[in-house]
Amino acid sequence: MRLGGEFTGTPEGRCPPEPSAGGPLCGYKLAHLLLSRDGTRAGFTGVSVGGALPYGVLADARCAYGRRHPRPAPRCDCGFHALHSRADALALTRAGAHRCTALLEVTALGGRIRYARGMRYARQRVRSVHVGPCDCGLPPGVFVDAGRGRAGCRALTGACARCATGRDTVGFGTFAQLAGGGLRVIAGHGRADGSGAPSGTAGACWHVRVR
Instruction: Give the shortest CB-122-to-Zn ion separation in angstroms.
Output: 11
Instruction: Give the shortest CB-202-to-Zn ion separation in angstroms.
Output: 27
- Of the candidate spans 22-30, 57-65, 83-91, 99-107, the one that interacts with Zn ion by CB under 5 A turns out to be 57-65
- Looking at the Cβ atoms of 25 and 138, the one nearer to Zn ion is 138
Instruction: Give the shortest CB-105-to-Zn ion separation in angstroms.
Output: 24
Q: Which helix (H) or strand (E) segment is 159 a member of? A: strand 153-159
Q: DSSP class of residue 132? A: P
Q: DSSP class of residue 118? A: E
Is there binding between residue 63 and Zn ion (CB under 5 A)? yes
Is there binding between residue 136 and Zn ion (CB under 5 A)? yes
- Looking at the Cβ atoms of 72 and 181, the one nearer to Zn ion is 72
Instruction: Give the shortest CB-151-to-Zn ion separation in angstroms.
Output: 23
Instruction: Give the shortest CB-172-to-Zn ion separation in angstroms.
Output: 15
- Of the candidate spans 75-83, 109-117, 143-151, 177-185, the one that interacts with Zn ion by CB under 5 A turns out to be 75-83
Q: Which of residues 138-167 bind Zn ion (CB under 5 A)?
A: 138, 160, 163
- The rounded distance, in Å, linking the Cα atoms of 170 and 141 is 10
Among 2, 37, 67, 167, binds Zn ion (CB under 5 A): 67
Contact 78, 49 (CB under 8 A): yes
Among 1, 76, 146, 208, binds Zn ion (CB under 5 A): 76
Coil vs helix vs strand at 93 = helix
Instruction: Give the shortest CB-201-to-Zn ion separation in angstroms.
Output: 30
As a dihedral over the C-alpha atoms of residue 172, residue 3, residue 5, residue 33, rounded to 10 degrees, the angle is -10
- The rounded distance, in Å, linking the Cα atoms of 121 and 41 is 24
- The rounded distance, in Å, linking the Cα atoms of 72 and 123 is 9
- Residue-by-residue DSSP string for 142-156: EEEE-S--BTTEEEE
Q: How many CB atoms neighbour CB 103 within 10 A?
A: 24
Residues that bind Zn ion (CB under 5 A): 63, 67, 73, 76, 78, 134, 136, 138, 160, 163
